[in-house]
Structure 1
Amino acid sequence: MTKNIKVYEKYLEEKFNQNILNQQDLTNHRAQIAYLQHERYIHLLVTSVVSIVLFLTFMLCLFQDSILFYLLLIILFFLDVFYVRHYYILENTVQHWYRLETEIIKKIQNVK
């Protein structure tokens, strides 16, 4: 996902530098934002579920002394850390793309 983000941002930067943005680019950018919003929403749900399962496993470890539960706890912890990191990247990218949308609109209006 981060590779796709970088490729798209490079493409958009080239369009900005060449000053050849048009209404179709704005439409495409809005479609990219919608796709990223959907991705972000799904990751929020998955991250929430993993966090809840992590908490429940932690509570289970408090009452049941088993190496398997501790192993599950460690695995879920690292999984949750990576999901939170990925969600953080998605959230910041969406916010950045909102600002880019405003810049694209300004560029298009200046060209007309």
Structure 2
Amino acid sequence: MKITALTDTDGRVAARAAAVASIGAATIHLAVTPGHWREWLPSGLFFASVAVFQLLWAFLAWTRPPTALLATGIGVSTGLAALWVFSRTAGAPFGPNAGQTEAVKAAGICALLLECYIIMGAA
């Protein structure tokens, strides 16, 4: 089997698929923002900010994105995935529920998987 490098077209398709995944993750983050907002304002602001970032990143990644933009998407998505795992295993790192583990729910798993695809598609 011969392994070859991705062509520009392959890379563009992967980046666009990552952009679609980012829109999906942003949609989930927007959907859960009100609940987090009611629980603790900074948490709501965090989720809203993440959603805005993911929507903006998706828009920019849809066009021919520079390497720095793709790297930013990889870094932010990796951080969000790590924070999700940490908050489910060791507990929230700060806030009124610091140290209490959060429940694993379908929306969180979906957002996590979409963020993993952002990492793969942007790589």
- TM category, shorter: 0.3 to 0.5
Higher RCO (C-alpha under 8 Å, 6+ residues apart) = 1
Structure exhibiting the larger radius of gyration computed from Cα positions: 1
From the two aligned structures, give the one with the greater helix fraction.
1
Normalising to structure 2: TM-score of the pair? 0.39
Normalising to structure 1: TM-score of the pair? 0.42
